[in-house]
Amino acid sequence: MELKKDSNAVTIDMLLIVHSEKRRATQGTHSDGQGDPGAPLQRRGGFQGVGNGIRKWQKIEANDLPGHLAEKQHPQQTQVITSYDNQGTQLTVEVHPRDAMPQLLKKLSLANRLQGDKNGNTRPRQPRGKDAYAYPWDRSSLKSMPLDLPRLEKLDTYASQVTVKSGLDELVSDLVQETQSDLERVRAIWIWICHHIEYDIVAAQEKDRQAFKPTDILRTQKTNCDGYAGLFEKMCRIAGVQCMTVAGYSKGFGYQTGQSFSGEFDHAWNAVYLEGQWHLVDSTWGSGMVDKTTSKFTFLYNEFYFLTHPALFIEDHFPDNKNWQLLKPPQSLRQFENSMYHKSEFYNKGMLSAHPETSTIRTVNGKAAITIESCAPTLFMFMLNGKQEHGLLSLRKNGMKLEVYPPTMGTHKLQIFAKGSSEIYSSVLEYTLKCNYVDFGAQLPTELHQPVGPSWFSEQMGIMKPSHPDPIIHTSDGRCSISFGVDEDISILASLHGDDGSITEETQRRYIFQLHREKRTELKVQLPHAGKFALKIFVKKRQEPGNYVFVFNYLLCCTNTKVNWPMFPESFGNWGQDNELLEPLLGVLPANRNVQFKLKLHGIAKALVKGQDTWPLTLNHEGYWEGSCSTAGCEEIYVMVLENANHNFYSYILKYQVNAQ
């Protein structure tokens, strides 16, 4: 064949095409996964079934095969000579006139470009050693080749807005007209598919439905995963880029942690040849997700599955041919089944690793411990059996630590979520916990929320240099004092929570007394009895409207059964945050006693204590208001202040109860 090319034309003297196949191959038999990836495949078509949407490869009509030659004579232009030997091998020859464009090249040409690579090769080659990436992941990049995503934003916007006008060729032509390289052509095709083709739930459930043709996909803009892969492959080949469809197992919709895989493959994706190497893409998973509860598809673009690093792609994609893992060494099916499944959001939100690296964890003495390493500070939360209970989650600058105490023996589902730079928590990990022992002494308060202990997040919210950096505080006498630096414009609110009902919503702040001294806030805490309590810390900017925001909590533990502290005095709105109470700190005063008072009050003209009588407080040289009063005949004692010396109106700032006589 003499083939001459210039920038404007393709001249063909004669095209001889030899297609060798068994006669019975057109009956749709399953091709061996180790076969030549460049051979025309009868298995182009639909994976179908509930889950990832596919049941088995099915034969597509002959004239829908990329590069297929219809076995008939083209009128007046093409002669087709077909011959069979005694072993059933078919030889087909097409003879074209000098000035006629062969039908095959018409089908696969676009803008004067031959289908294939720049060297004119039309049969994609098998992956070789240079295509393989080291396993495990080296943390260098989420991608298998350098990718400047900000530079591609303009192309992404353009490709996502291209509309179908007629057929597939014209669509590809419109998409690639703004591109300068094979990478950009593949990117434009990927973006268009991910933003326009919807996953067809119904088709996935109809196991006998025929495979989707590209023309049907363009018309309905729906398909299942083998339709996605077939469409992506055909569009790439039209654009002159080598591409293959890969079949295999996947950890997608319906996957259960730790499950095994056997029988028919359940998913399809693509390998695309760029800059001398093969790379992996999954446009099905790049386009969106299926809600497990409603079985409805939602477009939700996922960048992770475009040119994914093979050492990460193998976590949820196991190809039928190990060569398409693009890994050295390749992983076995058993390794695939047992390996930890990090969801795409794990990496999208900057996670690097998690420990343990197995999906099933057996508790030790009733506890399971999980750590995650991230490349930047990240907010996390967890759910055990669907509830945010029975665990201690503490944040670190580069990750988190979680200790979980299952409340019962048996199997439990643990989900871990991360927030990243977005406002939405996304599921990043799932573990199965096997518990054969329950540590009842480790039971945690129901109101203990996440995270526990101060961290980079509390610093970000204006709380710094805590006196207690650890999340758990043990107290032998039922009292503790916690302090931290606070930004000047930050207001602090704290509340105490237990599970036995002794602390009500009205009294949960009465066991805490808040003081401010030299730009530090001190929380004095008195526990009503022995046990475990959650001390919640909230913040709010003083000059801004709105509610206080939860930041973190401490776990307070006391085993002393003699502890029985009363509440602190009740404070009112005029009790300023900068005020300081030295005595009395107990909210319940003894009857028939003289009680000493000492307070630091700011911006006050006069102060007094009121019971049966009124006792004035005097300002000493240290700036404290001091005095005493008698509790005889009193049920309640109030501290009152006069803010303006020219007025006679006193405000209540503190209230004490008096023990019954």
The phi-psi region of residue 258 (left if phi > 0; otherwise alpha if psi is between -120 and 50; otherwise beta) is left
CA distance 65 to 44: 8
CA distance 192 to 178: 13
The set of catalytic residues is 225, 267, 282
Sign of CA dihedral 263, 28, 225, 40: positive
Closest Cα to residue 561, out of 503, 629, 476?
A: 476
CA 329 to chain centre: 28
Does residue 428 contact residue 342 with C-beta atoms inside 8 Å? yes
Tell me the two tokens of residue 129.
């050693």
CA distance 215 to 196: 14
Sign of CA dihedral 472, 476, 480, 482: negative
The phi-psi region of residue 141 (left if phi > 0; otherwise alpha if psi is between -120 and 50; otherwise beta) is beta
CA distance 391 to 555: 11
Q: State the DSSP string of 474-488.
A: E-SSSEEEEEEEE-T
Does residue 459 contact residue 503 with C-beta atoms inside 8 Å? no
| Contacts of the segment 176-184: beta carbons below 8 A, 24+ positions apart | 176/110, 176/111, 176/239, 179/155, 182/239, 182/240, 182/241, 182/274, 182/275, 183/145, 183/274, 183/275, 184/152, 184/155
403-419 in b/e form (b: 16+ CB < 10 A) is bbbbbeeeebebebbbe
CA distance 604 to 602: 6
Does residue 204 contact residue 54 with C-beta atoms inside 8 Å? yes
Strands 410-418 and 472-474: unpaired
Instruction: Determine how many CB atoms are found less than 10 A away from the CB of residue 33.
Output: 17
CA distance 626 to 616: 9
